[in-house]
Amino acid sequence: MSQPHFMSTKECAQTDELRLLGEEFQNIFSLTYLQELACKTGMIQRQRKVRAQDLVSLCVFLGQTVGSESLVDLCTRLNEAMGVCISTEALNKRWNERTVQFLKELFLHAFGQQIHPIAPLTRIFKRIRILDSTSFQLPSAYADTYRGSGGGGSEAGVKIQLEYDLLSGEFLALEVGHGVSNDAKYGQFRTETVEEGDLILRDLGYHYIKDLDKMTANKAYYISRLRWNTQVYQKDKQGNWVLLHIEELTKHLKEGETIELPNVYIGYEHRHPTRLVLYRLTQNEWNKRLSHHKKMNKKMPKAASKVNLLVTNISPEKLPATEIYHFYSLRWQIEILFKTWKSIFNIHTTKRMKLERFQCHLYGQLLRLCLVARITYQMRKLLWEKKGKEASEMKCAHMVQIYLTKVHAVLFCTFQHPVSVLTRLFQDVSKNGKKARRYQKATPFEILRLIEIETAQLPIVA
């Protein structure tokens, strides 16, 4: 006779966290809420064959169908998944401004919904905020709504701005705009939301010296790359400004070597006091940098491409110069996130169709990506905390995508709690989602653990 299985404390805690995540999805996709939102936006004005949850199923849970498949295929998928049989003409009429508004508001509702906040991986910083954007070209017919660069590119394009909190896995802000929208201006807008204890990681496209002043004034931390041509000054003993020649300072740096200037001022007119850290790339890192410049048709002196110039307002006592580059490398987590959007979910692939149908596809996919990111982060965090293992971002996202049909079934068909599906997914991630280690490279969670050790003297944010 088999012995009864009693769950350990760790297993109970794991199940509880997955149960809370499942309840969050049940709340977001409540049939009552979907019906109320459909009536509010005018998408459904009277009782019809196609219900709110049917269109959500088609746009969010059944893959990249709306943007890539024919109306015949979409009708077939809808009937197979939800038992709703309609004509292609009836479905085509559903792609209208009211449906776009419905999906947009549902996305905003899900985006801001977090009933049970996740405990962060580290208490040193309140948040680690990473801001970046991804863009892709669209059929030229959309140029009036989504302006592109023209010239060698398309007349139409879309750019998605995303600010991501690495510690909680939350999307802090997401905005869809023209393909030629300005990164620096959006960065200035997001700087207004910076709070005490935040750590902000930004690339050159968002670098704006006055933003650094605001971050410091708000008692937030920053690590930002510095443009090679930015003027850097120090003061001599007499208080005179001395212009530094960065190329001269860095020409004798060896691969992987770091030097720092703890008290400098950057900018010709607005001389912001900061700490400058100069890191010489390894040969492998340099080759990747040159390849990227060639691909993007960027021109930069070879001396500049060999060195990263990083500025920060974190003191040397709290964070050694040798750890600054490791910190900044966490910014690549958002690049990996964008990579999953395009390589796994093909958000950038769309054929020509009516504008409203494309917009339904876009907001449906953004909602899908928001859910996938939430599940992926929770799975990776649980695996790290319960088993001391780190899951691959790409592998985990791919597994989550496969399980979305099961999540859809329990939410809209069987009306069961999603915890059983999420538990099976966690078992798969634990078994097959392990992150491959790169030689002498710390993984993101290992870097976050180093943050706890190396910055033990930083004030802990409540």
Q: What 8-state DSSP symbol labels residue 251?
A: T
Count the neighbouring beta carbons within 10 Å of the beta carbon of residue 449: 15
Q: Name the residue with tokens 């890191």.
A: 279
- Return d(Cα 92, Cα 57) in angstroms, integer: 16
CA–CA gap between residue 373 and residue 389 (Å, rounded): 19
315-339 per-position pLDDT tens digit = 887 788 888 888 888 888 888 888 8
Measured CA to CA, the distance from residue 396 to residue 39 in angstroms comes to 36
- Whether the predicted pLDDT of 239 surpasses 50: yes
The confidence band for 104, taking pLDDT boundaries of 50, 70 and 90, is: very high
pLDDT for 384: 85
Give, rounded to a whole angstrom, the gap between the first and last alpha carbons of the chain. Answer: 51
Element (H, E) at 366: helix 355-387
Euclidean distance between CA atoms 17 and 15, whole angstroms: 5
pLDDT at residue number 122: 52
Task: Tell me the residue type at 292.
Answer: H
Q: Which residue has the higher pLDDT, 317 or 54?
A: 54
- Does residue 299 carry a pLDDT above 70? no
pLDDT grade for 13, boundaries at 50, 70 and 90: low
The answer to whether the beta carbons of residues 411 and 84 sit under 8 Å apart is no
Rounded CA separation 55/57 (Å): 5
Residue 70, classed as helix, strand or coil, is coil
What are the sequence ranges of the domains in the chain? Answer: 1-183+331-462, 204-328
66 band by pLDDT with thresholds 50, 70 and 90: confident
Most confident of 322-336, 339-353, 398-412: 398-412
Mean of the pLDDT values across residues 164-189?
A: 89
pTM of the entire predicted model: 0.82
**pLDDT above 70: percentage of residues in the chain:** 86
Longest CA pairwise span in the chain (Å): 88
Task: Tell me which residue of 187, 69, 107, 116 sits closest to 369, measured CA to CA.
Answer: 107
